[in-house]
Structures are given as C-alpha cells and as structure tokens.
Amino acid sequence: VPVDAPSGLTCTANPDDSVDLAWTNQDPYDAVGGIEVRRDGSLIATLGGAATGYHDTGDGSGLRTYEVRGKIGVVVGAPATCQVQLGIEAPSDLTCTLGASVTLIWINNDPYTTLEVYRDAALLATLGPGASSHLDATADPGPHAYYVIGKVGAEGAQSNTCNIDVPLPPVSNLSCTAS
C-alpha cells in the first residue's frame, strides 16, 4: 500500500537563518519515527508520526531544499518538498592590483545569479554567475574604491572595499629644443 506524501509543505526563513517547516499529514504515519525531514538530501530529523512542523536551526546561507516523508512500517512515502533562500553571504577577500589596468579578484560564497562591480559607488559592470574577477581598463588617475555585490535574484550582499591609487601616465613624446 503506497504511503501518501504530507501536503502543503511550507518553508519559512527566519532572520537568524533558521527555517520553520509546516505541513499536513495525509496518512496515520508511525507514532515513532514516522516522519523523516531532510535538508539538501541529508536526514536531519526523525519525528513522531503526528508531527506537523519542524524548526531547523540551519547550516548557513544559500538555497536549501527540504523534504518531508511519511513512513508506515517499512514503506516510506514520496517526499513533499519546498525550497528557501537563506541570507546571502557577501563575496569575500576582494583585492585590487594595478598593472596596465586595475584587476579585481574575489571569492564567491554563494551561487549568485549576478555580480555587480562598483567603482567609487557607481556601477561599473554586471557579471554573470561564477565570475570571480574583473579587469577595469577605464580607471582615471587618482584614488578609487571598489566593491562587489553578489546577488541572488533581487537580494544582494556587499563585499569588503579595496582601494587603489591609479598614477598619472608617464609623460611620452616629450621633446626639448635649445635656443
């Protein structure tokens, strides 16, 4: 006899990056160990069969997938699933180096959908997922402050700032005449 999945599973993110799950049971699951809760495929809790909610203290930021399965005897039902995006962690370890242009390098700490690069608080470039560097060949001489915002959808988090001073270009084609 198949075991029905719980219905109406919801995932609600809390400000502390914990998650509250709630559902409705569709069968009389086993009183002991009748409900399994998984996060990203890993079993995180086994609950009594009458449970209709669970509070997960979480494991950091990012997109999390939860599954709740009912169990009767040895038969484990299909999962009810939901996803929740927990706080986005900012790109880290931003460094600026000067060569022929300014090179920015950083570490991505979440699977961002876009990355925005700023110079002196003005948007310089919008990069795609996975980008972890940018070359700024248009910086004028003088001091500049750079930062990167990693975004998942509309939500974003800002990296540290790196500062660099772009020197004046060397004087070239200078000629002198004697009089």
Q: What is the pLDDT of residues 140-162, one digit of tens each?
A: 999 999 999 999 887 788 889 99
Distance CA 132, CA 173 (A): 38
Q: What percent of the chain has pLDDT over 70?
A: 100
Tokens of 86: 């927990």
Distance CA 73, CA 33 (A): 10
Res. 81 pLDDT band, cuts 50 70 90: very high
- Residue 179 pLDDT more than 80? no
- Residue 175 pLDDT more than 90? no
**Unique residue bearing structure tokens 């409900």:** 35
Closest CA to 72 of 19, 28, 104: 28
> How confident is the model at residue 67, as a pLDDT?
97
- Residue 61 pLDDT more than 90? no
- Residue 165 pLDDT more than 90? yes
pTM over the 0.75 mark: no
Tokens of 111: 């699977």
> How confident is the model at residue 172, as a pLDDT?
81
Q: What are residue 56's DSSP bridge partners? A: 19
Its sign, for the CA torsion 144, 145, 149, 155, is: negative
Beta carbons within 8 Å of 79's beta carbon, 6+ residues apart: 5, 38, 67, 68, 69
How many CB atoms lie under 10 A from the CB of residue 73?
9
For residue 161, the surrounding DSSP H or E stretch is none
- Residue 110 pLDDT more than 90? no
Q: Are 149 and 118 in contact (CB under 8 A)?
A: yes
Residue 156 to residues 15, 88, 111, 114, 119, Cα–Cα distance (Å)? 15, 7, 12, 9, 17
